[in-house]
Amino acid sequence: MKHLRKLVVLTCDSLILIGVSVLLAWFSMRYDIPDAVSQGTFAKHLALLYVCTLAFQLLLRTYDSLWRYAESQEYLSLLLAAFLGFLSYEVLTRYVLRVNMISFLLLTAIAALWILGMLCIRFSYRVFRTRMQYRKGSHQVSAAIVGAGAAGVQLLEELRSNPDSRYSVQCFFDDDPSKHGKRIHGVPVKGGVGNIQSRIKSLNVQEILVAIPSVDEARRQEILRKLSSLNRVKVTVLPSSLDLLDRRPIRAQMRKVRIEDLLGREPVRLNPAPVDAFLGGRTVLVTGGGGSIGSELCRQIVKHGPKKLIVLDIYENNAYDIQQELLYQYGGRLDLSVEIASIRDRERLRQIFARYRPDVVFHAAAHKHVPLMENSPQEAVRNNVFGTLNLVQTADEFGVKKFIQISTDKAVNPTSVMGASKRLCEMILQSMKGRSATDFAAVRFGNVLGSNGSVVPLFKRQIEAGGPVTLTDKRIIRYFMTIPEAAQLVLQAGAMARQSELYVLDMGRPVKILDLAETLIRLSGYVPYQDIDIVETGLRPGEKLYEELLIASRDIEKTENNQIFVERQPAITPEELGAKLSILSAALEKNDPGVIRKALHQVVPTFHEPEELNRSQGSEVHIPAQQEEEPRSKVVAFRRQA
């Protein structure tokens, strides 16, 4: 097919040249144009002209081009080959053979018409091929492209040429006034982003494709927030940085708008130097390394050049996944070991620590699902509390330099077994102050978007199933952060960690879960409460209306990083901790959830029942106005309504 295609194009070019030459020669003789055609053999000179032009066409490989994908480079090569062919013919006939068969005027006319004919053939083929492919595709979704720049135009071309594309692009929107009212490949630019809401209904657009990869983050979020308010219009977006190394088609990089695109916060940008010094050349162990946070910690850690990375997890499937991912990406450059073990098994931990002698430990292994731990409090205590105790004691025994515990906002004034167990983990680290050469520290943050058990994946599944979207209470407010953001800040806090400190990450402003659900429904092209309903199911066991990042009675101190704060708390003595753990251990022996819950209330004074705390919030909880002079993670005050 390749050789046949070249032969067909070459034959068409030859017939065009012969036809144009004969027609113009006849025309010049018919109308007696002076010096147009001199005496001699016309066919021989026409053959010489053809050989000269063909030689340069073959030399510049114009017949190897796929003209349905041709750009300016291919057309310039075609013109250059034709020009050089005619020039060489003129030089040969006038200065080498010294004959003057065809006048310069006639030669110029032949060249112009022949080039025009070649271009028409190629353009006609390209248009025919594009239309045939377009008819083969479905192209049933009426779409608009936001961004009439290079990315938007490339996206339009790919959607039109791809037979599998389902989009029929109706218009562009772009904030550049010079493009308004113009057409790009026949598609009109209807106005700026501000005109979308007023014009989208008349255009019957079903989906908006956002192709503005170079716009700054603040403007990008502003545009996406505007689009998220549209009803029955799906929104897909081109990521802010294209994967140019893979040379993937731009259409393949389009994705659905994620809720993190609308968080309204600048992305975390950290100075890597302190983390490089902290982790470079060190042996690092990550417990729970196959989980959402643990696996992202592993991905971030390897970027800072550790001597060795050990992934420890009880769930072998997740551990295997992160192992294969890292080996595929780094291969022999990474010294990686994976250990399947439970943090409840002290002797197994001692065996692993003795073998690898880690310098740094990130402790992300925990039972974290609030309602599940309400039903199985003994498992939360055994794993979260006594598992952490095992790790802390083992790290102290084997001389670990730094031990970083991943904590949670649910440990602040906890209303759940999970939150109370994590608060006890913080107490265990506090009790080591002045008793160990290891620097023990905890890092506390809120909900992580996309993590296992996160509400966002649940909402997406419910929307895809046609609804309804369920949330426990329409008043609920939560802090959110992306997984990469959380992992980066944990590493940064670890680099600055000192003995028994508790670090709090700036989570930005809290988000109302109801607003989040409504936004996700709109971004999916539906209307909340009409196409997809939102249903309250009632607060789950242990759940409270809002989370806090700090214990209200304590002040926080700024660190050198404006997104990380340190909370100072009075140290807990080993004797106090021992008494608390003895109470818990005795409760565990009875294996009675009620007894264990009562014991947790006894050892964690800030542990309250959720009904008590939620009742104090009244019928409505409001997000407070942002106060720039105060750290955003400091105690949040909520206005109450009776």
- Host H or E run for residue 478: strand 477-478
The encoded tokens of residue 566 equal 């340190």
Parallel/antiparallel/unpaired status of strands 360-363 and 402-408: parallel
- Are the CB atoms for 304 and 276 separated by under 8 Å? yes
Query: How many angstroms separate the CA atoms of 417 and 411, rounded?
Result: 10
Read off the amino acid at residue 307.
K
Cβ burial of 160 (10 Å; 0-12, 13-18, 19+) is buried
Residue 104's contacts (CB-CB under 8 Å, 6 or more residues apart) are 90
Read off the amino acid at residue 157.
E
Query: How many angstroms separate the CA atoms of 525 and 228, rounded?
Result: 9
| φ, ψ of residue 143 in degrees (nearest 5) | -130, 155
Query: How many angstroms separate the CA atoms of 502 and 496, rounded?
Result: 11
- Name the residues annotated as catalytic: 410
The encoded tokens of residue 622 equal 């409001």
* Residue whose pair of structure tokens reads 């140019």 in the numeric block: 244
- Are the CB atoms for 48 and 54 separated by under 8 Å? no
* Residue whose pair of structure tokens reads 């993590």 in the numeric block: 451
SS3 for 454? coil
Compute how many other C-beta atoms are within 10 angstroms of the C-beta atom of residue 514: 18
| φ, ψ of residue 285 in degrees (nearest 5) | -115, 135
Compute how many other C-beta atoms are within 10 angstroms of the C-beta atom of residue 538: 8
| Sign of the alpha-carbon dihedral angle for 465, 469, 471, 476 | positive
How many Cα atoms sit within 13 Å of 359 on the Cβ side? Answer: 14
Q: What is the DSSP letter of 136?
A: H
- Are the CB atoms for 534 and 517 separated by under 8 Å? yes
Q: What is the DSSP letter of 635?
A: P
- Are the CB atoms for 346 and 390 separated by under 8 Å? yes
Read off the amino acid at residue 641.
Q
- Host H or E run for residue 222: helix 217-227
| φ, ψ of residue 312 in degrees (nearest 5) | -115, 125
Please confirm whether the linkage preceding 510 is cis (ω < 30° from 0).
no
